[in-house]
Amino acid sequence: MRSLIDILDLSMEEIDELIATACDIIDNPDKYAESCKRKKLATLFFEPSTRTRLSFEAAMLELGGSVIGFSAANNSSAAKGESVADTVKTISCYADIIAMRHPKEGAALVAAQNASIPVINAGDGGHCHPTQTLTDLLTIYREKGRLTDLTVGLCGDLKFGRTVHSLINALSRYTGIHIVLISPEELKLPSYIKKDVLQKKGIPYTQTTDLEAAIPTLDILYMTRVQRERFFNEEDYLRLKDSYILDPKKLETAKPDLCIMHPLPRVNEISVAVDDDPRACYFKQVLCGKYARMALILKLLKEASV
């Protein structure tokens, strides 16, 4: 049974196909309005979410399907001590496809190994977030018309930010990508990703703590939130939470066609004064998330039916 745990589970051709399907859905929504009739998506969210869960639900509803699920671990039998394996075996009797978010790294893989229906990883701890990456790739493609030859700045919590980890993996397969890692010392990208992805694939990258110095070089600036829930102590979080705040002043030296992205939720790392800048793409990115998930649900359900 085909699941999506890591963005690298998809070939580059499959990513191209998903982007093409998402663009076709954007242009011809009526064509897809009944594509998932009588199909059910189960959203199993053991960790809070607004965009990811609701965009999965909106995606399935727009495909003519329906949705069941829970939005917090304490609303499920996990609160009674049920294992992820037993939960997904149960849900496999009710639904056709699962989208699951869990605070533990590796939980999505365990789910996929035990489910008899496709499982989509909607975020497993600080590890992966492949559907956010599909969203990000679709956004970059629609804004820039390409996924190659880009200087991409990733700023904020590069240690715990699973969206950044998945995006680096995805971008490392395209040509002409330069990565600029912008973070405080304590929140640097884990060295296993530098070694196993960036260095192994020969992707040029630089590391800096200085957002302002990096801005003029960038085609994409991907801001992230400092992930309070992944810190072991509150003091460290409080010390680091305001490391970067993007505001109109800092954007004065940016390229006129810079694309500013953020997986959201934002706390204060992008000032609301930036929202009216035509280079702010983060709410367009939210919309892309629904279409990317529609394309993915269609693909996995189609593969499951043959």
Please tell me whether residue 53 binds ligand NCD under the rule CB under 6 A. Answer: no
Nearer to ligand NCD, 39 or 162 (CB): 162
Residue 129: active-site member:
yes
Other beta carbons within 10 Å of 193: 18
Query: Which of 39, 40, 53, 101 is an active site residue?
Result: 101
Choose, from 52, 131, 135, 163, the residue flagged as catalytic.
Answer: 52
Q: Is 51 a catalytic residue?
A: yes
Secondary structure letter of residue 251 according to DSSP: G
Residue pair 13/134 in contact by the 8 Å Cβ criterion? no
Q: Could you say whether residue 129 binds ligand NCD (CB under 6 A)?
A: yes
**Does the CA dihedral 226-147-2-93 come out positive or negative?**
positive
Backbone angles phi, psi at 232, to 5 degrees: -85, -25
Q: Looking at this protein, which amino acid is placed at residue 215?
A: I
Check if 52 is active-site.
yes
Query: Closest distance between ligand NCD and the C-beta of residue 281, in Å?
Result: 14
Taking CB under 6 A as the criterion, the residue among 43, 133, 163, 169 binding ligand NCD is 163
Interaction between residue 130 and ligand NCD (CB under 6 A): no
Q: Is 276 exposed, middle or buried (0-12, 13-18, 19+ CB in 10 A)?
A: exposed
Q: Rounded to an integer, what distance in angstroms lies between the CA atom of residue 297 and that of residue 108? A: 16
Report the nearest approach of ligand NCD to the CB of residue 245 (Å). Answer: 15
Known catalytic membership, residue 101? yes
Q: What is the dihedral of CA 9, 296, 65, 289, to 10 degrees?
A: 120
- CB closer to ligand NCD out of 121 and 132: 132
x/- letters, 218..237, toward ligand NCD (CB under 6 A)? -------x-x----------
Residues 6, 166 contacting (CB under 8 angstroms): yes
Single residue of 132, 133, 183, 243 touching ligand NCD by CB under 6 A: 132
Q: How many CB atoms lie within 10 A of CB 59?
A: 26
> Between 255 and 294, how does the x/- string for binding to ligand NCD read (CB under 6 A)?
--------xx------------------------------
Least CB distance to ligand NCD at residue 85 (A): 23
* 4's tokens: 């999506």
Say how far apart CA 177 and CA 13 lie, in whole Å. 18
Point out the residues that are catalytic.
51-52, 80, 101, 129
Interface residues with ligand NCD (CB under 6 A)? 51-52, 123, 129, 132, 162-163, 225, 227, 263-264
